[in-house]
Amino acid sequence: MGKHDDAQQTSLNRRLWLWTCTLALLLALYHLTAGLGRAREQLVRASAAPSTRNALPEVEVAAAKRGDLNIYANEPGIVAPLRTLTVHVRVDGELVHVYVKEGQIVKAGYLLAQIDPRPYEIPLTEAEGQMLRDRALLANAQAKLARYKELFQQNIIARQDLDNQQSIAGQDAGVVKSDQALIDRAKLNIAYCWITSPISGRVSLRLADPGSIVSPTDTEGLMVITQLRPIAVTFSMPDDDLPRVVKATTTMPEFPVDAYDRTRKTHLATGTLFTPDNEIGQTNGTVTLQASFPNQDNALFPNQIVNARLLVDTLHDALLIPAAAVQRSSQATFVHVVKWDQTVETRSVVVGATQGDTSAITAGLDPGELVVVNGAGKLRPGNKINLQLAADPFAPGGVLRPMTLLETPTRKGLAKTTTRTVPDTEKANQ
């Protein structure tokens, strides 16, 4: 009995000891895992801190390249019709018909309106009747003159009788001639009752309605017709630019002129330079020019404000960079140039001309060198940068793309090389 109790006590002690060891082991594993987590977190923070401190500024760059730069003169102008006229009547009368609608496009010779012709048909009939009577008198006088000539040759009548008859025949011929003039005048008055358009253009708002009594003395007229095709744009430019325009027109008779809207973003039409004025204005030192546009799509409207653009010169084989890359200070004009090791240097340049978003550099840069386009304000000479290629300033619609390989421009016959940006994490692992 005593042996059995000792065996049970021994088994119970073993179980307690086993549970105690297991609990101690679990506690040890917990503390070990927690310590490793804290150490890992501290390591991550420690490794991230230098990376944050050493983050490279991101900038956009573009390469300088050779090309042609067109130099344009942009001047504000106003659209003016080549011809505008007010339609007046030529005879008095009642306006019985108007055959056009307001705003309608008409061609030259198109029937616009009609005046009652009946008051002018009566004089025509009267003149034609008078013509018949006077022709009969003329025929009788001419027949009598022929008989008088035979009698005179036979010495039956005197010379004075022959001359009197010849005078009567001449007077009758003159009366017939006057009758013909009256007939022609009556026919012309009737023709004036049908009013046609003298030019092609757009009809204005109507100034007289059917049933009105109109007269040639009316100051307003029936309507106004404005020629739209072709149409002109009148603008002024400084006299300093005139020699270049004159030189260009001598080599290109049909000198092109483009018309843009007020914002200079929407192209409206393309025409040709018509003529410059014959003198320069003394008050403002400008010369007035006029360009003609076909205007087949009616994009230009009279009195519309537009911007006229003329190609006055072309710089051939110029070194071109985006205009945004050019920085100016009180001392110099400069750009930030990216060196082969992805550091920047400040370099003075000479800008020959700027057109739109592109500048031509005459000194200070070589073809292929990279210049900073965006982000230059936060750079200092010697700064290391993280690159992005800017959208191609010479090809609209370009897309920004990250640059992981910087191609060093080839200069003075050196072979082209590439340099890869080494991240800070790689430097820490090396």
The residue with tokens 């009809």 is 203
Q: CA 415 to CA 412: how far, in whole Å?
A: 9
| Annotated domain spans of the chain | 72-82+231-315, 85-225, 320-429
pLDDT of residue 35: 61
**CATH 2.40.420.20 is right for the domain spanning 320-429:** yes
Structure tokens given for 170 = 């001449």
pLDDT of residue 142: 94
**CATH 1.10.340.30 is right for the domain spanning 72-82+231-315:** no
Q: Among 380, 392, 389, which Cα is nearest to 320's?
A: 392
pLDDT of residue 128: 96
pLDDT of residue 295: 95
Q: CA 5 to CA 23: how far, in whole Å?
A: 28
The string of DSSP letters for 77-139 reads: EEEEES-EEEE--SS-EEEEEE-S-TT-EE-TT-EEEEE--HHHHHHHHHHHHHHHHHHHHHH
pTM above 0.85, yes or no: no
CATH of 85-225, one of 3.30.1180.20, 2.40.50.100, 3.40.1280.10, 3.90.660.10: 2.40.50.100
Handedness of CA 358, 362, 363, 367 (dihedral sign): positive
Contacts of 187 (CB under 8 A, 6+ apart): 124
Q: CA 372 to CA 357: how far, in whole Å?
A: 14
Measure the N-to-C terminal CA separation of the chain; round to a whole number of Å.
75
For the chain, the maximum distance between any two Cα atoms, rounded to a whole number of angstroms, is 207
Structure tokens given for 403 = 């640059």
Identify the three-state secondary structure at position 302.
Answer: coil
Q: Block means of pLDDT (10 residues each) for the chain, length 430 residues? A: 57 70 73 62 53 64 92 93 95 96 95 97 96 96 94 92 94 96 97 96 94 95 95 93 85 89 93 89 90 94 95 90 90 89 89 91 92 82 74 45 38 37 40
Q: CA 93 to CA 208: how far, in whole Å?
A: 13
pLDDT of residue 248: 82
Q: Among 300, 103, 80, which Cα is nearest to 201's?
A: 103
Omega within 30 of 0 (cis) for the link into 238:
no
The residue with tokens 């708002």 is 205
pLDDT of residue 395: 43
Q: CA 293 to CA 53: how far, in whole Å?
A: 62
Helix (H), strand (E) at residue 245: helix 242-251
Cβ-in-10-Å burial (0-12, 13-18, 19+) of 79 comes to: buried
Strand partners, 337: 345, 371
Distance of CA 405 to the CA centre of its chain: 40
